[in-house]
């Protein structure tokens, strides 16, 4: 790999941005494509497909075979609320390759004993979230059922283009949440990015089941299968417990 390509790639990695190195198999020639430039690339559709899956692979083009080396930032999950659902959600997310952080100012819940092997920040969202630098490679869930905690957290996540934003609560709870967020100045389109009631409609009841439904919805959004699920949810198929860019392994 040429030094200039390596430098460009490292710069994108540090900034948590995706990129692809395209190698001509016949000649060995390489070129670097940052995610922000993919749409204008001659291989745009092919590059988008592989960024979406996060898989490096050989591919056929009109000009011959190329090898696509895909580089995407690791996904992150920030869960606001050190609750039973989060206790089940954290290990599932870790198993799927997410870096997980738990945020909750309630020190009785936000303890290492309740969340072994997971960073826990026992601070209010306005203190805990800015240093985390959440981004479009971050899934963000608000699970406390307390507007004093969840609302500021959601405002922060929506302002930073997290690829998934979800909030626990019934439709009535979310309707009240929508009113509060609108009063804070958010427009309808921004508020509509919140997945609520959170999770896919699998009939989840227990905290572990709800965690599975949440992680399934995050995965659907990650793989850009979330639009159909969102339509179904609006039609009334949401879990009883319960258009942002895709992330790691997806075009940012």
Lowest-confidence region among 32-46, 82-96, 190-204, 215-229: 215-229
Paired strand residues for 167: 142
Domain spans of the chain? 3-71, 76-237
**Amino acid 156: pLDDT:** 97
Nearest-5° Cα angle at 205, 165 to 167: 15
Checking if the pLDDT of 233 tops 60, the result is: no
Burial class (CB within 10 angstroms; exposed 0-12, middle 13-18, buried 19+) of 129? buried
Checking if the pLDDT of 240 tops 70, the result is: no
**Amino acid 239: pLDDT:** 36
CA distances from 208 to 15, 70, 106, 227 (A): 34, 33, 21, 25
Q: What is the pLDDT of residues 71-125, one digit of tens each?
A: 988 899 999 999 999 999 999 999 999 999 999 999 999 999 999 999 999 999 9
**Amino acid 149: pLDDT:** 98
Mean pLDDT of the 170-198 span: 96
pTM, 2 dp: 0.78
Checking if the pLDDT of 234 tops 70, the result is: no
Mean pLDDT of the 44-58 span: 89
Checking if the pLDDT of 226 tops 50, the result is: no
DSSP 99: E
Q: What is the pLDDT of residues 146-155, one digit of tens each?
A: 999 999 999 9
Q: Looking at the domain covering 76-237, what would its CATH class be?
A: alpha beta
Task: Grade residue 27 by pLDDT with cuts at 50, 70 and 90.
Answer: very high
Task: Grade residue 229 by pLDDT with cuts at 50, 70 and 90.
Answer: very low
């Amino acid at each position: 790999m040429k030094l200039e390509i390596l430098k460009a790639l490292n710069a994108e990695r540090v900034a948590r941005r995706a990129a692809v190195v395209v190698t001509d198999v016949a000649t060995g020639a390489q070129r670097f494509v940052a995610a922000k430039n993919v749409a204008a690339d001659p291989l745009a559709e092919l590059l988008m497909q592989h960024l979406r899956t996060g898989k490096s692979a050989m591919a056929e083009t009109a000009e011959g075979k190329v090898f696509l080396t895909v580089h995407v930032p690791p996904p992150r999950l920030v869960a606001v609320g050190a609750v039973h659902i989060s206790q089940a959600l954290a290990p599932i997310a870790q198993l799927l390759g997410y870096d997980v952080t738990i945020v909750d100012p309630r020190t009785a819940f936000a303890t290492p004993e309740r969340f072994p092997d997971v960073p826990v920040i026992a601070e209010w969202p306005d203190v805990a979230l800015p240093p985390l630098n959440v981004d479009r490679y971050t899934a963000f869930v608000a699970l406390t059922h307390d507007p004093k905690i969840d609302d500021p957290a959601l405002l922060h996540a929506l302002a930073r283009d997290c690829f998934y934003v979800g909030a626990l609560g019934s439709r009535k709870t979310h309707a009240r949440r929508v009113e509060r967020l609108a009063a804070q100045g958010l427009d309808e389109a921004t508020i509509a990015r919140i997945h609520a009631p959170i999770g896919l409609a699998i009939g989840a009841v227990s905290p572990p089941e709800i965690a599975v439904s949440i992680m399934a919805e995050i995965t659907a959004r990650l793989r850009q299968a979330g639009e159909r699920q969102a339509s179904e949810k609006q039609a009334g198929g949401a879990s009883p417990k319960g258009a942002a860019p895709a992330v790691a392994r997806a075009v940012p």
